[in-house]
Amino acid sequence: MPEGIIVKALSGYYYVMPLEDSGVPSVEGSAVQCRARGIFRKRGTSPLVGDRVGYMLTENGEGTVDEIRKRETELIRPPVANVSLAVLLFSVKEPDMNLNLLDKFLVHIEQAGLDALIVLTKQDLADPENDARDTVAEVKALYEQIGYEVISTSSRTGEGNELLKERLAGKISVFSGQSGVGKSSMLNALMPGLTLETSAISMRLGRGKHTTRHVELIPLDNGGFVADTPGFSQLDFLEIGVEELSTCFREFAQYADQCKFRGCTHTHEPGCRVLAAKAEGMISESRYKHYEQFLTEMKDKKRRY
């Protein structure tokens, strides 16, 4: 039975890109339009973009998805299987850097068990000599100290593009982040000839219009795939327990085990080592402030639902 990877799901059809004998996608061939067998509905499951599947060709040149191989990961939003890297794109300017939203994305990525790569876009708009703050340097210093990889890029000048492309090789990555930061422009720069639709920034609102309508895997010429996903207007914490939140702030981990009380929320308890680390400057004020905000938001949502 031939093997392939689902690169798009639309209107009840699954578009399967064949895999070569080595397991590498055959990006030169066209995807096969398939229907899923009814057995999946009986099992209460359905194929996802990113699934490696067994499929059979039918007489009309289409096919049927017969088997779904074991998934490594499964995301609910966006609905993609086998993603191993989350690439968070945040712009230096237009729109301005939003660290609260960046930390919210990182919480969800940590909870999903994915690696995270922070990509700062529109580096060409930075002007360290005239800007009051060197945003790029500050963000890189803060998040690299925590343990995240940060790459500065510019679709216009090509800065950082090759390094980013290397990190995407041979894996399925999901692109997320601020709306209007240049996700489609970045993908166009990584794969010339892709010509994804891009959108101008609304200066009145300070954000871009969402141009992506459905999840689709975009093949790169190095064996990697990028999930181009609908932009997120908001992220909620309904899938994360209140007690899990602190574990999604990775710099808390080395101190949390030393707290006096089990189940410490790191907000007011005596003998809290996380609070002590913040007071000593070992945990950044901005990250801790966002932790408190998210905790309040989660408790409010739990009460509402």
* Burial tier of 12 (Cβ tally within 10 Å: 0-12, 13-18, 19+): exposed
Reading the block at residue 98, the tokens are: 């939003």
Note whether 6 and 49 are within 8 A (CB).
yes
Instruction: Give the separation between CA 267 and CA 67, rounded to whole angstroms.
Output: 48
Task: Report the binding-site residues for Zn(2+).
Answer: 259, 264, 266, 272
Note whether 62 and 14 are within 8 A (CB).
no
Note whether 5 and 19 are within 8 A (CB).
yes
What is the SS3 assignment for 246?
Answer: helix
Can you say whether residue 13 is alpha, beta or left, with left for phi > 0 and alpha for psi between -120 and 50 degrees?
A: beta
Structure-derived torsion over alpha carbons of residues 209, 213, 215, 218, reported in degrees to the nearest 10: -80
Task: Report the binding-site residues.
Answer: 121-124, 177-185, 259, 264, 266, 272
b/e code 216-234 from CB counts within 10 Å (16+ = b)? bbbbbeeebbbbbbebbee
Task: Report the binding-site residues for GTP.
Answer: 121-124, 177-185
